[in-house]
Amino acid sequence: MPTVVLMDASLSMTRPVSLEGSEEFQRKNLAVHGLTMLFEHMATNYRLEFTALVVFSSLWELMVPFTRDYNTLQEALNNLEDYDKTCLEAALQGVSNIVQQEWGSTCPCQVVLVTDGALGIGRGSLRHSLATMKQRGEDKKFPLPFPFSSKMYIMCIANAEELQATDAMDNLEQLLALSGGDGQIFTMDGPLCLKSVQAMFGKLIDQAYTPFHAVLRCGNLASDVQVFPRPEPVLLDEEVDPIPKSVLTELEIVGFIEIGDIASPPVLSRHLVLPIAVNKEADEVGTGTTEDMEEETSANQMAGKSPNFCVLLHGSLKVEGMVALVQLAPDWYGMLYSQADSKKKSNLMMSLFDPGPLPLPWLGKMSQLGPVSDALENPYGEDDSKSPFPVQPKNKRSYAQNVTVWIKASGLQTDVQKILRNARKLPEKTQTFYKELNRLRKAALAFGFWELLKGVAELLERECTLLPDSAHPDAAFQLSHAAQQLKLASTGDSQYAAFEHNITPMLTDFSGGGSGADRM
């Protein structure tokens, strides 16, 4: 998931920090040192992460938009200037705008806030923002929680004692709670020095930016892979003592299934699956020397020439049009499949289902799926003309009934054409005409599809004008009546747009009613 680094560039960050036996450092220098360590780690072990750098004081500025070029991020960090007072609320609003413009509101994001704990004075300070948060209108709402899923990590260039001496720690904890509670506040242990800031950012790296390595197995074949972004633990919705469930580092492929059978299932998250060459030294933080980089490049070239099960699996799934079902943990499954970025490039992806033995009801229980060869007869037929899915439930549900569903445009077109066919056979098909008309009317009202009612009314009026001279007189009356009732329903008037209301045939002299009046 993308990361936004929110760097405090206010004057309070320039406060000096005395280091033994050396020149004075500013808190800003310690923050830059910690972020340099983070960027070096991500450049080496977390290269696919998109990161943006935002600095703030009373205003905010996007220094580097989302990128994977950590040299650009480092250069901007080294050229950081000092500004005026702290105004965190405006910066958080800026982060919200940046993420939504780049990724929308469906992509989860991580926010790393680097500050010294001096959260401003007076109007615009965090203390003032939190105190006045409930007294605002809709147009001036506090930016937290973000409209997208997020985790906030607050890196304080201060120790806990310093923050607790004021109300800074309470304000930061309240800020973290407003963001959704996912994240953590990190403080420096002991004196403010380079060693302490390294330890603090090391904890952040361990918690949020450690690559997830696993072994992908299928029978006797195996491959070391990296899953990116790292799968998050899932909190099972249990009544007593919810337990987080994590993906194991042993991923076992339990079978293969056609894409058409698995369709487009609901998933918790999607991840890239990348083959890796086993290299323990690569996990160490640091850029390394030029010789080390050349050796790493040589090793990667050698690994690219070696046979790899992950590459074989990706190519097979792509050619055969199938997906692989993979067991992530006990009673937790996912699927591996090939997804194309363009005509020439595709990636091996893994999607995680909801934990449980029955994540996809139309497949039945995962534990009961088996090879086609075990069946008495081929469930797909000799010419692959049928499918064993969806699995039909043994007992018919009491609420099961025929309902109108328009998933594709062809379904809606068929229903409208059915009404028009019956309209051309009036008055013989009067009952069928009104039955189909009421079915479409109720579905349109349920969906709020007012335009459909108006459109069908215009079609019926057109049919009325196209009636031949030999048509029965009652046909024109019924078409005009039906069109008028649909138009009244399309206005949303409570009397005519009631869901329970049905359009009944117009009683005319030709149909034996004598009065010609509408009877609703």
Residue ranges per structural domain of the chain:
2-209, 211-235+246-280+306-394, 409-497
What's the 3-state SS for 460-515? HHHHHHCCCCCCCHHHHHHHHHHHHHHHHHHCCCCCCCCCCCCCCCCCCCCCCCCC
The confidence band for 384, taking pLDDT boundaries of 50, 70 and 90, is confident
* Model pLDDT for residues 53-78, shown as the tens digit of each residue: 999 998 999 999 999 999 999 999 98
> How far, in Å, CA of 166 to CA of 162, rounded?
7
CATH 2.40.290.10 fits domain 211-235+246-280+306-394: yes
Contact criterion met (CB below 8 Å) for 161 and 192: no
The average confidence (pLDDT) of the chain is: 84
pLDDT mean over 351-362: 90
C-alpha dist (Å) from residue 295 to 45, 215, 289, 459 = 16, 24, 10, 74
Are 327 and 251 a contacting pair, CB within 8 Å? yes
Asked if pLDDT for residue 358 goes beyond 50, the answer is yes
Q: Which neighbouring-strand residues pair with 188?
A: 159
Give pLDDT tens digits for 454-501: 999 999 999 999 988 888 889 999 999 999 999 888 887 767 778 888
Q: What would the two tokens of residue 120 be?
A: 């401003």
Q: Supply angle C-alpha 7, 11, 13, rounded to 5.
A: 50
Q: Is the pLDDT of residue 18 over 80?
A: no
Q: Give the length of the chain.
A: 520
Question: pLDDT band for position 283 (50/70/90)?
Answer: very low
Q: 3-class SS at 434?
A: helix
Over residues 319-335, the pLDDT tens digits come to 998 999 999 999 899 99
Classified as helix, coil or strand, 26 is strand
Residue 261 has pLDDT above 60, yes or no: yes
pLDDT higher than threshold 80 for residue 285: no
Tell me if the domain spanning 2-209 has CATH number 2.40.50.700. no
pTM: 0.68
